Chain A
Amino acid sequence: MKVKVLILPKKGLLEPEGRAVREMLRDEGFSVREVRVGKVVELEVEEGTDVRAIAEKYLVNPLVEEYVIE
């Protein structure tokens, strides 16, 4: 099965890439309050694989990132 791990910089943490995208979108006339740019890791795994463990031990730095498994 395919699993996606969505990784985003933690809310409230200064995130220059998101800020740059936000400014660009505002300049383009959109009313955008906040932008965070993260990454997606797509895994193809056997049923029952502990994706949470993979995410927490390897894919995410919990000090500065948060994640969602889809």
Chain B
Amino acid sequence: MKFAVCVFPGSNCDYDTYYVIRDLLGQEVRFVDHNTRNLEGFDCVVIPGGFSFGDYLRAGVLASKTPLGHAIVDFAGKGGLVLGICNGFQVLTELHLLPGALLRNEGRDFLCRNVYLRVENNSLPFTRSFEKGEVIRLPIAHGEGRYYIGEEELKRMEEGGQVVLKYCDREGNVNPASNPNGSVGNVAGVCNRGGNVFGLMPHPERACEDLLGYRDGIILWHSLIA
């Protein structure tokens, strides 16, 4: 598979992501900068974490209005796989490729720690190597990760399998105590209706080697090439 890793001014997980794809997955990967207009030839576009354009105005909005932002919309429209991690998730909501918005964490803190997540939908190209209902552990690092969407729309998304990951405890219980940032319904990751665009706040690229203590993240990357 051929991957593109998007680089906006202020992206800061781009090299971690590039490393995982090239060195751990052994796949072809290229950086594409914010002026890129054409993503033809790629199979999967990854929007990495960071603070694109300094989070000015709203996290992700300035990145969404770049030539690369428009190219990502075209690419997704043709069925290409798009993965947005953390700031990448915020960019995808601003591109309207994913529903909802990401707001300041309920507790106002920047959260940098490990969380447990329950895999709600394992039928996606991004999650097919997980079991349905499996509890995994990944790190989060965000100040604006509180997923918000109206109740009705959330219900429709749940029914349609668009809620992919939920914050939970070690046993897989989804409740307010296991919700780190106040997201509606403990939502940590969602996909579009077509299942080819996936955004999540946790960082799978940071949990890929035993050296780092855990490697649940690599399963997500393996799903893509399975």
Residue ranges of A at the interface with B (Cβ–Cβ < 8 Å): 13-17, 20, 41, 58-59, 61, 63-64
Question: Which secondary structure dominates where chain B touches chain A?
Answer: loop
Check A61–B101 contact: CB distance below 8 A.
yes
Say yes or no: B61 contacts A64, CB within 8 Å: no
Assess whether A16 is in contact with B104, with CB atoms less than 8 Å apart. Answer: yes
Q: Give Cα distance in the complex from A47 to B148, angstroms.
A: 37
Q: Beyond A58-B65, A64-B148, is A14–B57 a contact (Cβ under 8 Å)?
A: no
Pick the contact of B100 from A14, A59, A63 — CB < 8 Å? A63
Q: What size tier do the contact residues of chain B reach? A: 10 to 19
For the complex formed, measure the closest distance between the CB of B62 and the CB atoms of chain A, giving whole angstroms.
9
30 contacts between A and B (CB under 8 A): A13-B103, A13-B148, A14-B103, A14-B106, A14-B146, A14-B182, A15-B104, A16-B104, A16-B105, A16-B106, A16-B107, A17-B104, A17-B108, A20-B108, A41-B57, A58-B57, A58-B61, A58-B65, A59-B57, A61-B58, A61-B61, A61-B94, A61-B101, A63-B100, A63-B101, A63-B148, A63-B149, A64-B101, A64-B103, A64-B148
Q: Could you say which residues of chain B place their CB within 8 Å of the CB of A63?
A: 100-101, 148-149
Q: A15 to chain B: which residues have CB within 8 Å?
A: 104
Q: Which residue of A lies closest to B64 (CB)?
A: A58
Hey, which chain A residues are within 8 Å of B106, CB to CB?
14, 16
Q: Across the A-B interface, how many residue pairs have beta carbons closer than 8 Å?
A: 31
Contacts of B65 in A (CB 8 A): 58
State A14–B105 Cα separation when bound (angstroms): 10
Q: Which residues of A contact B61 (CB under 8 A)?
A: 58, 61
Instruction: Give the residues from 168 to 212 in chain B that come closer than 8 angstroms, CB to CB, to chain A.
Output: 182
CA distance A14 to B149 in the complex (A): 12
Separation of A16 and B144 alpha carbons in the complex (Å): 11
For A41, the chain B residues whose CB sits under 8 A away are 57
- Bound-state Cα–Cα, A41 to B65, Å: 18
Q: How far is the CA of A64 from the CA of B94 in the complex (A)?
A: 12
Beta-carbon contacts under 8 Å, B96-112 to A:
100-101, 103-108
Bound-state CA distance A59–B94 (Å) is 11
Query: Which residue of the partner chain A has the closest CB to B181?
Result: A16
What separation, in Å, do the CA atoms of A61 and B148 have in the docked complex?
12
